[in-house]
Structure 1
Amino acid sequence: MGTPLDTAPQHGPRPLPLFLSMLRSETLNDPDRRTRALAGLRAYQDAPRLPATPMPDAVARDGRIVLRDYGGTGRPVVVIPSLINPPFVLDLAPDNSLLRWLAGQGLRVLLVDWTTPVPGDRAMDLGDHAQVVARLCATLDEPPLLVGYCLGGTIALAAAASVPVAGIALIATPWRFDGFGDAGRAAIADVWTAAQPTAERLGLLPMELLQSMFWQIDPARTVEKFVQFADLDPVAPAGQAFVALEDWANGGAPIPYAAARELFDDLFDADLPGRERWCVDGRIVASRPPVPMVEFVAENDRIVPAASAIGLPDRRIVPAGHVGMIVGRRGRSVLWEPLAHWLSGVPRSREQPNP
């Protein structure tokens, strides 16, 4: 089994040895499924890649973090991606880009790009990332609407405590971390306990360690998608969509040690946001700041359970998964269009609440 994989291009999954170990375990009593999974893995690694869509130029910078302008006219909308996995899931392909589509809906769309941290960023925690977002927002001509995806939504709420914003839309955003359940939080704690010494020495938490945590959520499904890919034509649209999405899932940058420590100790373990005790820049971060807010919750989310959402009065249940709501074939109808309608409907106000 090792020879063909050893010579394959290393597009992922990352870390490959851990994936292969999980594959062996999941297919222990099903050699045919193992064969198909390995065939799907080889097909994925060997598949041709379309040229990456260039990201727009930066219009503002704060250290290594930049604000990229996706164009459009109208009021500014600042989109904040998760720290985990790169932001291009929001701009996956020219014909499957939430950001570019929103820019055509009478909105000026800007993306926070975290770029790649270095060991010198080790002391930058989640609150520091939120403060950078706040400073970038302050460079705009008017208070923006914030759109936060996954952990980016959690950071958006912290940023809104420090800068005037016109409204906040949360997409698959965790807030009540006890909603991950006791078993899920225990598994996450075990991963962090094992990874913490290495992350502290490096000053960064490598993406491979985060990936191993996600795989443990549903190892059977992680293997099954490669079983299914064995039956697809890698150059057909469905095959290319799988390749692009899998490359995204395996393409994340590390996160600074302090951000990782805060994420696992203060959020997952202590659930400080859910208990209204999360403090950033000397202030408790409010789950319901005095601005218009909406949350879009994925009905079939295996990464951020629906139970971890805030539970806002304006809560939209989206019949999709965590990633499918962004790039799935129904994404435009179940998320993109309702989100654009909400953003366009937030009234402008001359008076903005003081943070």
Structure 2
Amino acid sequence: MGTAILLSSPAALPLLNANWPHWHPTVKATAENLRRDLRQRLGAAGDPSANPPDVPLAAEAFAPFSRAVDREMRRRLDRFLTGLERYRHHPYQRDITDADPVWQEGRARLLEVGTTGRPVLFVPSLVNRGYILDLSWRKSLLRWLAGQGGDAAGGGGIRPFLLEWGYPGPMERRFGLSDVVAGRLVRALEATCARAGGPVTLVGYCMGGLLALGAALRRPDLVSGYVALATPWDFHADDAAAAQRTAALINPFDPVMRLLGELPVDGVQTLFATLDPLLAYKKFSRFASMDMASDEADDFVALEDWLNDGVSLPAAIARECLTGWYGDNTPGRGEWRVADVPVRPADLRCRSLVIVPARDRIVPPASAAALGSLLPGATVWQPALGHIGMVVSGGAKAKVWAPLRDWLLAD
């Protein structure tokens, strides 16, 4: 998508020279100013009659600018493709392995990262692998939390568990969200509590925050606290029209979902790509200038590998999320139901924390903040980080990891 936008530059040049009247409002003023500047620089200086404003510049007069645009387009494409090629051939491989599973059902596994301390169950999104929370030795929120104190008696530290959903198999492809929340997640919660010897804190990341809330409301006896990390709730709070456009994207994929029983990974990635069509171009262009032997380059590859290790979404869940959540805003309107029971944040009785990344481009901050306003007595933080940066960026430890540790350990 980014390449297509760059390659559109030569196609736009004749329109710019011809004073095209149908520019998008966001670029119209820029286009008009550029055309005026070009006419002053390239036209017949000092002779307005030879350069009337509504007549395109002669081809020979406009040619230097066309060549300059072509050179710049090729330079940017070269930098982008260089970064992409360097990523494809970079030697980095994930430098840690998943923790041992202590429970498994179907494709889902419960991983125990720590051995002592207060038990915390982390619930990731269904469309990305959970190891974003355990990305590498330098960028693992879970292992950092597990290393924050503790003793042989199980006190003073944090004992993280991670529910890794896995790739949908034949069983999971028949699931709806009620099967996930009221079934598999609740059973994983029960297994965690049995192993930990008591209630646990539930921490949901992104979509996982909605799932975790649904489970907490179904089994409040098993939950001592609830944390929502960048979790959407009111899907129309920021831009209802944009949310409904996202919902409409399910239509082209419907025949594929009927055939496969799932929204494939490429379909899920397409939904994310529409949020910022130039994101790939920008990040790989930046990668091209990095030292390939640096920690910065390793961190880039680690994150990009995770992003490209996506998970398909069972068809019924894809329809419920896109049509229900994004299209109809069922959570924000109080109409989202799990196993025919409404999911109402106001009914949660345990302590709660809502972390709203102020620079989030995936979950609009207004959408996530809406959940904080509905949870009774919730603490709400708004760190100046992005959706993924809140767990793996250079500022994550100071702005999210350490404060989260302190909140989890507080009485």
TM-score of the aligned structures, taking structure 2 as reference length: 0.76
Q: Is the 1:149–1:171 Cα contact (8 Å) retained in structure 2?
A: yes
Which has the greater radius of gyration? 2
**Cα distance between partner residues in 1 of 2:301 and 2:344:** 39
Q: Is the 1:44–1:234 Cα contact (8 Å) retained in structure 2?
A: no
Do structure 1's residue 44 and structure 2's residue 87 form an aligned pair?
A: yes
Q: CA deviation at 1:180?
A: 4.8
Do structure 1's residue 124 and structure 2's residue 175 form an aligned pair?
A: yes
Which of the pair has the greater relative contact order for Cα pairs under 8 Å at 6+ separation?
1
Question: Which amino acid in 2 is paired with 1:117?
Answer: P
**Cα distance between partner residues in 1 of 2:328 and 2:279:** 29
Q: Which residue pairs with 2:17 in the alignment?
A: none
- SS in structure 2 of the partner of residue 298 of structure 1: coil
Higher helix share: 2
Q: CA deviation at 1:64?
A: 2.2
Q: Is the 1:48–1:235 Cα contact (8 Å) retained in structure 2?
A: no
**Cα distance between partner residues in 1 of 2:405 and 2:89:** 38
Do structure 1's residue 28 and structure 2's residue 8 form an aligned pair?
A: yes
**Cα distance between partner residues in 2 of 1:152 and 1:249:** 17
The counterpart of 2:349, out of the listed 274, 279, 290, is 290
The CA deviation string for residues 31-67 of structure 1, in whole angstroms up to 9 with x for no partner, is 2111111111111111112244211111122332121
What is the root-mean-square deviation of aligned Cα atoms in Å?
Answer: 1.5
Question: Which amino acid in 2 is paired with 1:24?
Answer: A
Q: CA deviation at 1:68?
A: 0.6
Do structure 1's residue 149 and structure 2's residue 201 form an aligned pair?
A: no
- SS in structure 2 of the partner of residue 311 of structure 1: helix
**Cα distance between partner residues in 1 of 2:266 and 2:2:** 14
Q: CA deviation at 1:243?
A: 0.8
**For structure 1, which segment, 155-164 or 125-134, has the greater mean C-alpha deviation from structure 2 after superposition?**
125-134
**Cα distance between partner residues in 2 of 1:271 and 1:247:** 32
**Cα distance between partner residues in 1 of 2:170 and 2:162:** 24
**Cα distance between partner residues in 2 of 1:183 and 1:229:** 34
Question: Which amino acid in 2 is paired with 1:336?
Answer: W
Q: CA deviation at 1:109?
A: 0.7
Q: Which residue pairs with 1:323 in the alignment?
A: 388
The counterpart of 1:311, out of the listed 366, 372, 375, is 372
Correspondence list, 1:245-284, <5 A: 245-284=303-342
Do structure 1's residue 175 and structure 2's residue 233 form an aligned pair?
A: yes
Structure 1: unaligned runs, 5 residues or longer: 1-20, 348-355
The CA deviation string for residues 248-290 of structure 1, in whole angstroms up to 9 with x for no partner, is 1111121211111111111111111111111112211122311
- SS in structure 2 of the partner of residue 244 of structure 1: helix
Q: Which residue pairs with 1:93 in the alignment?
A: 136
**Cα distance between partner residues in 1 of 2:188 and 2:171:** 21
**Cα distance between partner residues in 1 of 2:201 and 2:94:** 31
Do structure 1's residue 109 and structure 2's residue 160 form an aligned pair?
A: yes
Q: 1:185 to 1:51 in 2, by over 3 A?
A: closer
Q: CA deviation at 1:301?
A: 0.3
Structure 2: unaligned runs, 5 residues or longer: 10-72, 149-156
Q: Which residue pairs with 2:187 in the alignment?
A: 135
- Structure 1 segments of 4+ aligned residues over 4 angstroms from their partners: none
Q: CA deviation at 1:246?
A: 0.8
Q: Is the 1:127–1:158 Cα contact (8 Å) retained in structure 2?
A: no
Q: 1:62 to 1:119 in 2, by over 3 A?
A: closer
TM-score of the aligned structures, taking structure 1 as reference length: 0.88
Q: Is the 1:102–1:340 Cα contact (8 Å) retained in structure 2?
A: yes
Q: Which residue pairs with 1:235 in the alignment?
A: 293
- SS in structure 1 of the partner of residue 104 of structure 2: strand
